[in-house]
Structure 1
Amino acid sequence: MSQATVTAVSSDSDHRFSKPNRDSIRLLAGLGVEGDAHLGVTVQHLSRVAQDPAQPNLRQVHLIHSELFDELGEAGYRVAPGDLGENVTTRGIDLLALPTGTRLHLGADAVVEVTGLRNPCLQIDRFRSGLLKHVVGRDTSTGEVVRKAGVMAVVLFPGTLRPGDPVTAEIPAPPHRPLERV
């Protein structure tokens, strides 16, 4: 089995849909990505701030598996790291299969705790027309909504991340709680 890795890191100080790739990003405990528009103890996503600005920021770091980009490419969509607004792009780890509370060790020092699934919105169709139906759908056997646009996490331990850094999952003790949208 190959080692899971960080393939790209991205951040943006403005609230734009896509984030430019960086040589490195710094994760700050309890806050998120240094210099990113979503940094903070309380929610920073504009739609959520409008609902309740005092709610905790469970979306400090957005992670997407690069295998999603491969899948989208097969469907005719060119999507690159940072395009969907993620901070950390990974390869070799099934982020969507992790239970809530999984701790991801990123690089030498950083640790984030997975809080839930990203809930993609219509902005994805503004980025690439028709893309939303490829990242949100229904399981044909159960009828359940399937969200593929990555996971959200909070920063437990700080650290600097770079492409090529290792990713290791620390699964919480059972019973496991499946990921839900946050």
Structure 2
Amino acid sequence: MSMHTGRLVITPREPDCCPERPLVVRVLTETGFIEGLLPGRAQDFMVGPAFLDLISFVGCAVAVSTDAAAGLPFTHVRLPSDPGRPQWCHGRNTRAPRCPRCRTPRTEWRAQVAAAMELGDHAIDCPACGASARPWSWDWRHQGGFGRRLIVVEEVFPGEAMPTPGVLDALTMATGRAWHFFYVQD
């Protein structure tokens, strides 16, 4: 059994913001980030002709396979449906978030964040300084995050790829909202 390489997630900075999917598809298609849907998949797109210009890969041996026919994990873009409220995206790479006020890492964070998300947009408290803030206000250091409108680049190792200003600026201009990114590894 192979482990999931990871995913790069691009989403509006405001986790409740959910631009219409057709608008996001149009922007990503026009920039060359994506092209057609993968056969038989309603949410998965092939990478577009400008994908490698819009994602900066770092590292000494970066391998990007985009061949869906090979039967192996391959890089592609998923645009999941709107879940109706912000989703907590985290994985084995996610570490304790830092308090937005005092920067102290939050211990025992998984259970508290899960409970806050189950109840809606409730805050979590910092045991060091007493600050109370919604989970997405904490600093996750690009190792997890929250959102409704997600652009998920599958089979990207955490930290190995970053969206360029070109794709982030295009999304910001089209939606009127700032976008950011993080990584999740199952």
The structure in which a higher percent of residues are helix is: 2
Check whether TM > 0.5.
no
Q: Which has the higher contact order (CA 8 A, sep 6+)?
A: 2
- With the shorter chain as reference, the TM-score category is under 0.3
Q: What's the TM-score once normalised by structure 1's chain length? A: 0.27
The structure in which a higher percent of residues are strand is: 1
- Bigger Rg, which one: 2
Q: What's the TM-score once normalised by structure 2's chain length? A: 0.26
